[in-house]
A = this chain, B = another copy of it.
Amino acid sequence: MSLFEEDLKKLKAKILEMGGLVESAIKDSVRSLTDRDNALAESVIKKDHIINALDVEIDEEAIKLIARMQPKGSDLRFITTAMKITTDLERMGDICVNIAERALEINREPILKPYIDIPRMRELAQGMTRDALDAFMNKDQRLATDVIMRDDEVDDLKYGIVEELLSLMMLDPSKVSRGMKITFVAQYLERFADHATNIAEMAIYLVVGKIIRHTTYASDQADSAT
Protein backbone atom coordinates (compact mmCIF):
# COMPACT_ATOMS: atom_id res chain seq x y z
CA MET A 1 0.00 0.00 0.00
CA SER A 2 1.40 3.38 -1.00
CA LEU A 3 1.77 6.21 1.48
CA PHE A 4 -1.14 7.97 -0.22
CA GLU A 5 -3.37 4.91 0.09
CA GLU A 6 -2.38 4.58 3.73
CA ASP A 7 -3.31 8.20 4.45
CA LEU A 8 -6.54 7.87 2.51
CA LYS A 9 -7.45 4.80 4.51
CA LYS A 10 -6.92 6.72 7.75
CA LEU A 11 -9.07 9.56 6.46
CA LYS A 12 -11.86 7.13 5.59
CA ALA A 13 -11.66 5.52 9.02
CA LYS A 14 -12.05 8.91 10.68
CA ILE A 15 -15.09 9.75 8.55
CA LEU A 16 -16.69 6.42 9.46
CA GLU A 17 -15.92 7.06 13.12
CA MET A 18 -17.62 10.44 12.85
CA GLY A 19 -20.59 8.83 11.12
CA GLY A 20 -20.87 6.27 13.91
CA LEU A 21 -20.92 9.01 16.53
CA VAL A 22 -23.62 10.89 14.63
CA GLU A 23 -25.68 7.69 14.41
CA SER A 24 -25.40 7.22 18.17
CA ALA A 25 -26.30 10.84 18.77
CA ILE A 26 -29.51 10.69 16.72
CA LYS A 27 -30.51 7.42 18.37
CA ASP A 28 -29.84 8.72 21.87
CA SER A 29 -31.39 12.14 21.35
CA VAL A 30 -34.67 10.65 20.17
CA ARG A 31 -34.58 8.07 22.94
CA SER A 32 -34.10 10.87 25.47
CA LEU A 33 -37.45 12.17 24.25
CA THR A 34 -39.41 8.93 23.93
CA ASP A 35 -38.04 7.49 27.20
CA ARG A 36 -38.14 10.88 28.95
CA ASP A 37 -34.49 10.31 29.85
CA ASN A 38 -32.91 13.65 30.78
CA ALA A 39 -29.54 12.14 31.62
CA LEU A 40 -29.34 10.73 28.10
CA ALA A 41 -30.24 14.13 26.62
CA GLU A 42 -27.48 15.75 28.68
CA SER A 43 -24.97 13.18 27.50
CA VAL A 44 -25.80 13.86 23.82
CA ILE A 45 -25.20 17.57 24.43
CA LYS A 46 -21.97 16.92 26.31
CA LYS A 47 -20.55 14.55 23.69
CA ASP A 48 -21.11 16.80 20.68
CA HIS A 49 -17.62 18.29 21.01
CA ILE A 50 -16.15 14.93 19.99
CA ILE A 51 -17.99 15.12 16.66
CA ASN A 52 -16.84 18.71 16.22
CA ALA A 53 -13.23 17.78 16.95
CA LEU A 54 -13.34 15.07 14.28
CA ASP A 55 -14.66 17.60 11.76
CA VAL A 56 -11.63 19.82 12.39
CA GLU A 57 -9.20 16.89 12.32
CA ILE A 58 -10.53 15.49 9.05
CA ASP A 59 -10.40 18.92 7.45
CA GLU A 60 -6.80 19.45 8.50
CA GLU A 61 -5.73 16.02 7.33
CA ALA A 62 -7.50 16.38 4.01
CA ILE A 63 -5.74 19.70 3.36
CA LYS A 64 -2.38 18.16 4.23
CA LEU A 65 -3.07 15.18 2.02
CA ILE A 66 -3.85 17.36 -0.98
CA ALA A 67 -0.82 19.61 -0.41
CA ARG A 68 1.58 16.69 0.06
CA MET A 69 0.31 14.19 -2.48
CA GLN A 70 -1.17 16.49 -5.11
CA PRO A 71 -3.80 13.98 -6.11
CA LYS A 72 -5.79 14.46 -9.31
CA GLY A 73 -8.94 13.09 -10.83
CA SER A 74 -11.07 10.84 -8.70
CA ASP A 75 -8.70 10.89 -5.70
CA LEU A 76 -8.83 14.67 -5.52
CA ARG A 77 -12.60 14.60 -5.89
CA PHE A 78 -12.86 12.02 -3.12
CA ILE A 79 -10.91 14.20 -0.69
CA THR A 80 -12.70 17.48 -1.43
CA THR A 81 -16.02 15.65 -1.22
CA ALA A 82 -14.97 14.17 2.12
CA MET A 83 -14.38 17.69 3.40
CA LYS A 84 -17.91 18.64 2.44
CA ILE A 85 -19.39 15.50 3.93
CA THR A 86 -17.83 16.12 7.32
CA THR A 87 -19.50 19.55 7.33
CA ASP A 88 -22.83 17.76 6.91
CA LEU A 89 -21.97 15.28 9.66
CA GLU A 90 -20.97 18.07 12.00
CA ARG A 91 -24.30 19.83 11.46
CA MET A 92 -26.13 16.56 11.96
CA GLY A 93 -24.44 16.44 15.37
CA ASP A 94 -25.76 19.95 16.08
CA ILE A 95 -29.27 18.80 15.15
CA CYS A 96 -28.99 15.98 17.68
CA VAL A 97 -28.06 18.58 20.30
CA ASN A 98 -31.17 20.56 19.32
CA ILE A 99 -33.36 17.46 19.69
CA ALA A 100 -31.85 16.75 23.10
CA GLU A 101 -32.48 20.36 24.17
CA ARG A 102 -36.12 20.17 23.08
CA ALA A 103 -36.42 16.78 24.86
CA LEU A 104 -35.29 18.40 28.12
CA GLU A 105 -38.04 21.03 27.71
CA ILE A 106 -40.74 18.62 26.59
CA ASN A 107 -39.93 16.12 29.36
CA ARG A 108 -40.79 18.76 31.96
CA GLU A 109 -44.43 18.73 30.85
CA PRO A 110 -47.04 15.94 30.88
CA ILE A 111 -46.83 13.58 27.92
CA LEU A 112 -48.93 14.80 24.99
CA LYS A 113 -49.33 11.49 23.19
CA PRO A 114 -47.26 8.34 22.67
CA TYR A 115 -44.45 8.78 20.16
CA ILE A 116 -44.88 6.51 17.16
CA ASP A 117 -43.86 8.38 14.01
CA ILE A 118 -40.96 10.28 15.60
CA PRO A 119 -39.03 7.04 16.39
CA ARG A 120 -39.90 5.81 12.89
CA MET A 121 -38.44 9.01 11.39
CA ARG A 122 -35.35 8.52 13.51
CA GLU A 123 -34.93 4.94 12.34
CA LEU A 124 -35.20 5.95 8.70
CA ALA A 125 -32.88 8.94 9.08
CA GLN A 126 -30.28 6.87 10.91
CA GLY A 127 -30.37 4.14 8.24
CA MET A 128 -30.03 6.76 5.52
CA THR A 129 -26.93 8.16 7.22
CA ARG A 130 -25.25 4.79 7.46
CA ASP A 131 -26.08 3.87 3.87
CA ALA A 132 -25.11 7.28 2.48
CA LEU A 133 -21.66 6.93 4.04
CA ASP A 134 -21.34 3.35 2.80
CA ALA A 135 -22.34 4.51 -0.67
CA PHE A 136 -19.68 7.22 -0.49
CA MET A 137 -16.94 4.88 0.69
CA ASN A 138 -17.77 2.12 -1.80
CA LYS A 139 -18.79 4.42 -4.66
CA ASP A 140 -22.08 2.57 -4.73
CA GLN A 141 -24.41 4.58 -6.94
CA ARG A 142 -27.38 2.27 -6.47
CA LEU A 143 -27.27 2.48 -2.68
CA ALA A 144 -26.89 6.26 -2.85
CA THR A 145 -29.94 6.52 -5.12
CA ASP A 146 -31.88 4.36 -2.71
CA VAL A 147 -31.03 6.72 0.17
CA ILE A 148 -32.29 9.69 -1.84
CA MET A 149 -35.56 7.90 -2.55
CA ARG A 150 -36.09 7.13 1.15
CA ASP A 151 -36.06 10.82 1.96
CA ASP A 152 -39.64 11.09 0.63
CA GLU A 153 -40.82 8.71 3.33
CA VAL A 154 -39.23 10.87 6.00
CA ASP A 155 -40.92 13.95 4.54
CA ASP A 156 -44.30 12.21 4.47
CA LEU A 157 -43.94 11.21 8.11
CA LYS A 158 -43.11 14.78 9.02
CA TYR A 159 -46.15 16.16 7.21
CA GLY A 160 -48.32 13.62 9.01
CA ILE A 161 -46.89 14.57 12.39
CA VAL A 162 -47.37 18.29 11.78
CA GLU A 163 -50.97 17.78 10.62
CA GLU A 164 -51.81 15.63 13.62
CA LEU A 165 -50.24 18.06 16.07
CA LEU A 166 -52.03 21.00 14.44
CA SER A 167 -55.38 19.26 15.01
CA LEU A 168 -54.53 18.56 18.65
CA MET A 169 -53.44 22.15 19.18
CA MET A 170 -56.58 23.59 17.60
CA LEU A 171 -58.83 21.42 19.75
CA ASP A 172 -57.01 22.17 22.98
CA PRO A 173 -55.01 25.38 23.46
CA SER A 174 -53.24 23.88 26.47
CA LYS A 175 -51.47 21.61 23.98
CA VAL A 176 -50.11 24.42 21.80
CA SER A 177 -46.76 24.83 23.50
CA ARG A 178 -45.94 21.13 23.65
CA GLY A 179 -47.30 20.56 20.15
CA MET A 180 -45.04 23.26 18.80
CA LYS A 181 -41.95 21.78 20.44
CA ILE A 182 -42.69 18.31 19.09
CA THR A 183 -43.19 19.87 15.66
CA PHE A 184 -39.69 21.31 15.99
CA VAL A 185 -38.32 17.83 16.73
CA ALA A 186 -40.02 16.46 13.59
CA GLN A 187 -38.42 19.27 11.60
CA TYR A 188 -35.00 18.53 13.05
CA LEU A 189 -35.36 14.91 12.02
CA GLU A 190 -36.37 15.97 8.52
CA ARG A 191 -33.30 18.20 8.26
CA PHE A 192 -31.11 15.40 9.59
CA ALA A 193 -32.41 13.18 6.77
CA ASP A 194 -31.81 16.01 4.29
CA HIS A 195 -28.15 16.02 5.29
CA ALA A 196 -27.99 12.25 4.73
CA THR A 197 -29.54 12.89 1.31
CA ASN A 198 -26.87 15.49 0.60
CA ILE A 199 -24.17 12.95 1.43
CA ALA A 200 -25.81 10.42 -0.89
CA GLU A 201 -25.91 13.01 -3.69
CA MET A 202 -22.23 13.70 -3.19
CA ALA A 203 -21.54 9.94 -3.32
CA ILE A 204 -23.22 9.84 -6.72
CA TYR A 205 -21.22 12.86 -7.80
CA LEU A 206 -18.10 10.94 -6.97
CA VAL A 207 -19.13 8.00 -9.18
CA VAL A 208 -20.60 9.89 -12.07
CA GLY A 209 -17.91 12.57 -12.08
CA LYS A 210 -20.33 15.22 -13.20
CA ILE A 211 -22.38 16.81 -10.47
CA ILE A 212 -25.91 15.44 -10.39
CA ARG A 213 -26.90 17.66 -7.50
CA HIS A 214 -29.70 20.05 -8.36
CA THR A 215 -30.84 18.16 -11.41
CA THR A 216 -33.47 15.52 -10.79
CA TYR A 217 -33.36 15.80 -7.03
CA ALA A 218 -33.18 19.52 -6.62
CA SER A 219 -36.90 20.17 -6.72
CA ASP A 220 -37.72 17.31 -4.35
CA GLN A 221 -35.18 18.63 -1.91
CA ALA A 222 -36.52 22.15 -1.97
CA ASP A 223 -40.09 20.86 -1.70
CA SER A 224 -39.33 18.80 1.31
CA ALA A 225 -37.14 21.07 3.34
CA THR A 226 -39.77 22.54 5.62
Contacts and interface: CB of A to CB of B under 8 A. Distances in A.
A213 B49 contact: no
Contacts of A213: 52, 55-56
Given A76-B66, A222-B97, A171 B170 contact: no
A59 B211 contact: yes
Interface string A142-162: 000000000000000000001
Given A211-B60, A218-B49, A222-B98, A72 B67 contact: yes
A63 interface: yes
Q: Chain A's interface: helix, strand, loop or mixed, by majority? A: helix
A63 B76 contact: yes
Interface residues of A, number: 51
A83 interface: yes
Interface string A191-223: 000000000000000000001011000100111
B170 A177 contact: yes
Contacts of A83: 80, 83-84
A173 interface: yes
A117 to B, nearest CB: 17
